[in-house]
Chains A and B, each alone.
Chain A
Amino acid sequence: MTVHWSRIAIYAVLIVFAALYLMPIYVLLVTGLKSFGEVRLDQMWDLPSRLRFDSFREAYNSLDSNLANSFKMVIPATLISCMVGSINGYVLTKWRFPGSNVVFFLLLYGMFIPYQSVLIPLVKTLQALHVYGSLWGLVVTHVIYGIPITTLIFRNYYANVPTELVEAAKIDGASIFGIYRRIVFPLSLPGFVVVAIWQFTSIWNDFLFAVTVTSNPAIQPATVALNNMAGSFIVEWNVQMAGALITALPTLVVYILLGRFFVRGLMAGALSS
């Protein structure tokens, strides 16, 4: 094989960019491994004098129950989001009715509201629903504000699932629910992966709703606790960064494990309208 300079150049560019993309993570990691005294802005690139996981331990100790809260909220919220989006997408592609495009438009438009502007009515509404101040309140909030994006993704995804399958099942005697349960749902995995990743990440990373809806530290999600690690007083950057890494870990794991399916799901039509 002849060596092609153009290929070498391509790899070089890719590697340089990879390094640039990893730079922030390097800083997070290195700072997290330092002691408080070592943390100085002008020494941020230096490796820690010795490996110490104290900051991680400390961060973890102050975050662990909140991480559990996050999971308790994110998992049901993501699952429900997926189901709701999937059902909406199913109806909007396979059971179209007069005005279904308008309905889709109305649902989708919700994606674009600035969330800071709805906090006050949100709290009142959640109170009326008796879920304010609980993780379920957060679940409800995230599921509802997730409807636009999940519906969009599933609608685009289902547009590429042959309608003949649904028709064949209709003729075979299945009802609207039967078709969903036995035909459409089992074929939805790539769509679910995309939606799950998307929702998991954005719900997990949300701070605004979390801090607004839950005030009891015992039930607050990790993002709020992480934020509280930086008081108005001294910021222990090493612990802060360690905490940031710990908090980001679940989403990173999700991306690394499911990244392949994410791309595949996107290729299968999710998000390409």
Chain B
Amino acid sequence: GGGGGTATATPGRTVTAAAGGTATPAALSGKLEIFSWWTTGGEAAGLKALYDLYPTACPGTVEIVNATVAGGGGANARQVLTTRMLGNDPPGSFQVHMGHELTDTWVTANYMEPLDSLFTQQGWNSVFPKGVLDIVSYQGKPYSVPVNIHRANVLWYNKAVFQANGLQPPTTFDDFFAAADALKAKGITPLALGDVDAFASVQLMETVLLGSLGADGYNGLWTGATDWNSAKVTDALNTFKKMLGYVNSDHSSLSWDQANDLVISGKAAMTIMGDWLHADNKAKKFTDSGWVPSPGTSGMYDALSDTFGLPKSAPNRDAVVCWLKVVGSKKGQEAFNPLKGSICARTDCDASLFDDYLQSAMNDWKKDTIVPSLAHGAAVKQGWLTNVSDAVTAFVADKNAGTLQSRLADACKSATVCK
């Protein structure tokens, strides 16, 4: 039989290593496996920059194994990670989104070591914003080290197209629809969407929910404080529905970056996407891009963050702990983020290292209300997210807002948050 039931056993080989607790500055050796889905472009370059820092920060002969699995927006990676964790073969450290993707999946299931002593030792409790510390913590203890922050609620537009049509970037839904109608009349696709990966439409809905309900209302959705069946949610979903009336017809065949191509080429005017799109623009040498918070979300920062944690039975624990130090360090974050196209999770990074967009994001990061992203696992646990994502996928095709609302309400119920 396929013997389960032994998954909780802690393999003996890690016991001695665990005795070290906080790092003893002995020379490190062996292999250190870092698991992520960063395989190409800026993110791979950023990761490599972190690897390059490692030997100086952690003297020894550690060989870093760059275990990456791309594809499906991290879906493949998640499968491999899950299989390995369940098989008691965790990597040294792995990339995981802050929030429920970390806590509900791994922490509550008792797979992770708390990092409170490391945070204290490194003084990180003061350099990370409170909002972030809250999101990476479970029952008061932090469980992973955030390396970057992305913002999900950004509306990107083609400046030339807007100028040519005498339009202003919209900040409210009314502005948005007015502009959209104008563009549509000109034969320009108002809003580019590429949701071959379901997260894109979920993320679009999340920005609409945020813009309609406000930060508190939005946060309440994930705690049960906001009623999914309320009229406000109905309104928000209808807005979402209306918005979908302005997207390109082939959206389900495109990835988000292919959707961005439409904006770059001027066939479409806007797209609502996370700020990793900025790096895509840079790579495609598109400079005529403007950005504003998505409609109704000014002053709100819909955040997601990639973090690294310490699995309980991680091999070569000392090397992993040192890796986490690199990840959380100012040097590390300053090396990583400009390449990756994200801002530091730390608040003390040198702004001059970053480009104009990122600098503006850093500003917002300091003053805005931070809310967790739904689509990227920060707001809810994965089971819930899957149900939401299924409901949205169906909605994008059938446009039945009523069904969507009841399914979203059901999803909340089956996650045992709502009654």
- Given known A-B contacts A232-B37, A232-B43, A211 and B69 have beta carbons under 8 A apart: yes
Whether A231 and B89, one on each chain, are in contact in the complex, defined by CB atoms closer than 8 angstroms, is no
Give the Cβ gap from A60 to chain B, nearest Cβ, in Å: 16
For B84, list chain A residues within 8 Å (CB).
123, 215
A133 at the interface (CB under 8 A from B): yes
A253 at the interface (CB under 8 A from B): no
CA distance A237 to B88 in the complex (A): 37
A113 at the interface (CB under 8 A from B): no
Q: Contact residue range for chain A?
A: 20 to 34
Residue interface mask A185-224, B partner, CB < 8 A = 1: 0000000000000000000000000011001111000001
The A160-196 residues at the B interface (CB cut-off 8 A) are: none
Whether A216 and B40, one on each chain, are in contact in the complex, defined by CB atoms closer than 8 angstroms, is no
Whether A228 and B91, one on each chain, are in contact in the complex, defined by CB atoms closer than 8 angstroms, is no
CA distance A212 to B258 in the complex (A): 29
Whether A229 and B40, one on each chain, are in contact in the complex, defined by CB atoms closer than 8 angstroms, is yes
Q: Contact residue range for chain B?
A: 35 or more
Whether B83 and A230, one on each chain, are in contact in the complex, defined by CB atoms closer than 8 angstroms, is no
Residue interface mask A110-140, B partner, CB < 8 A = 1: 0000000011110111010000110000000
For A127, list chain B residues within 8 Å (CB).
87-89
Residue interface mask B265-289, A partner, CB < 8 A = 1: 0000000000010011001100000
CA distance A9 to B245 in the complex (A): 48
Whether A120 and B86, one on each chain, are in contact in the complex, defined by CB atoms closer than 8 angstroms, is yes
B351 at the interface (CB under 8 A from A): no
CB nearest to B67 among chain A residues: A215
Whether A217 and B67, one on each chain, are in contact in the complex, defined by CB atoms closer than 8 angstroms, is yes
Q: Binding site of B, secondary structure by majority: helix, strand, loop or mixed?
A: mixed
Give the Cβ gap from A256 to chain B, nearest Cβ, in Å: 29
- Given known A-B contacts A211-B80, A232-B43, A232-B70, A124 and B2 have beta carbons under 8 A apart: yes
CA distance A212 to B76 in the complex (A): 9
Whether B83 and A212, one on each chain, are in contact in the complex, defined by CB atoms closer than 8 angstroms, is yes
Select one of B35, B40, B83 contacting A234, CB under 8 A.
Answer: B40
For A101, list chain B residues within 8 Å (CB).
none
Whether B87 and A120, one on each chain, are in contact in the complex, defined by CB atoms closer than 8 angstroms, is yes
For B284, list chain A residues within 8 Å (CB).
234
Whether B76 and A227, one on each chain, are in contact in the complex, defined by CB atoms closer than 8 angstroms, is yes
Whether B41 and A123, one on each chain, are in contact in the complex, defined by CB atoms closer than 8 angstroms, is no
CB nearest to B42 among chain A residues: A233
For A121, list chain B residues within 8 Å (CB).
2-4
B66 at the interface (CB under 8 A from A): yes
Select one of B69, B89, B91 contacting A132, CB under 8 A.
Answer: B89
CA distance A217 to B77 in the complex (A): 13
B33 at the interface (CB under 8 A from A): yes
CA distance A41 to B258 in the complex (A): 9
B73 at the interface (CB under 8 A from A): yes
CB nearest to B82 among chain A residues: A120
Whether B65 and A217, one on each chain, are in contact in the complex, defined by CB atoms closer than 8 angstroms, is yes
For A228, list chain B residues within 8 Å (CB).
39-40, 68-71
CA distance A146 to B54 in the complex (A): 43
- Given known A-B contacts A123-B87, A124-B2, A132-B89, A235 and B257 have beta carbons under 8 A apart: yes
The B1-20 residues at the A interface (CB cut-off 8 A) are: 2-4
Whether B37 and A132, one on each chain, are in contact in the complex, defined by CB atoms closer than 8 angstroms, is no
Whether A216 and B83, one on each chain, are in contact in the complex, defined by CB atoms closer than 8 angstroms, is no
Give the Cβ gap from A155 to chain B, nearest Cβ, in Å: 28
The B216-275 residues at the A interface (CB cut-off 8 A) are: 255, 257-258
For B35, list chain A residues within 8 Å (CB).
215
Whether A234 and B280, one on each chain, are in contact in the complex, defined by CB atoms closer than 8 angstroms, is yes
B383 at the interface (CB under 8 A from A): no
> Closest 3 A-B residue pairs measured CB to CB?
A231-B40, A121-B2, A123-B87
A-B contact pairs, 14 of them (CB 8 A): A124-B4, A211-B76, A212-B80, A217-B66, A227-B71, A228-B39, A228-B71, A229-B70, A230-B70, A230-B71, A231-B43, A232-B39, A234-B40, A235-B40
